[in-house]
Amino acid sequence: MAERQFCTFFVDGHYVGIDVVEVQEVIRYQEMTHVPLASPEISGLINLRGQIVTALDLRRRFGMPDRPEGQLPMNVVVRTAEGSVSLLVDEIGDVLDVDDRTFERPPETLDPATRRLVKGAYKLDGKLLLVLETERAVGLAA
């Protein structure tokens, strides 16, 4: 049985995961510096122990409504070919082991903006774990 580990989190009620090897760290909300003229998905820049990291809001990337006023996002910092990027998510989940045999194509019922950023899904007890296509999600031309 082939198993994979995912760092999980929630975005507007969707249960999403990223392969743990792509995750650098998970941190609480950080103050951001606004970037003038940046695309709407970019919430700003954060200083991560001297490293400047772009913060990308996954709600906006998925075409979902903004977070309710006063609800601060969490940061899932991922490693990409271009360097580290922080994905802003609503809530952090657990590290989860999943069986590769339960992996399926992205559900047809997903919104198209979300569907194109998802590799597929794992059927779990009572919920679906959407696997984020990290490089595509952080690529602003996706």
CATH number of residue 132's parent domain: 2.40.50.180
Element (H, E) at 46: strand 42-48
Helix (H, G, I), strand (E, B) or coil at 58: helix
Q: Tell me the C-alpha distance between 21 and 79, whole Å.
A: 9
* Percentage above 70 pLDDT, the chain: 97
Task: Provide the 10 A C-beta neighbour count for residue 132.
Answer: 27
The domain total for the chain is 1
Strands 42-48 and 51-57: antiparallel
3-state secondary structure of 141: coil
Query: Tens digits of per-residue pLDDT, 77-122?
Result: 999 988 999 999 999 999 999 998 889 999 898 888 889 999 999 9
User: Which residues are 2's β-sheet partners?
Assistant: none
Residue 26 CA: distances (Å) to CA of 23, 37, 76, 91, 125: 8, 27, 5, 11, 25
pLDDT tens string 9-55? 999 999 999 999 999 999 999 999 999 999 999 999 999 999 999 99
Query: Tell me, what DSSP letter sits at residue 34?
Result: -
**Structural domain of residue 37, as residue ranges?**
3-138
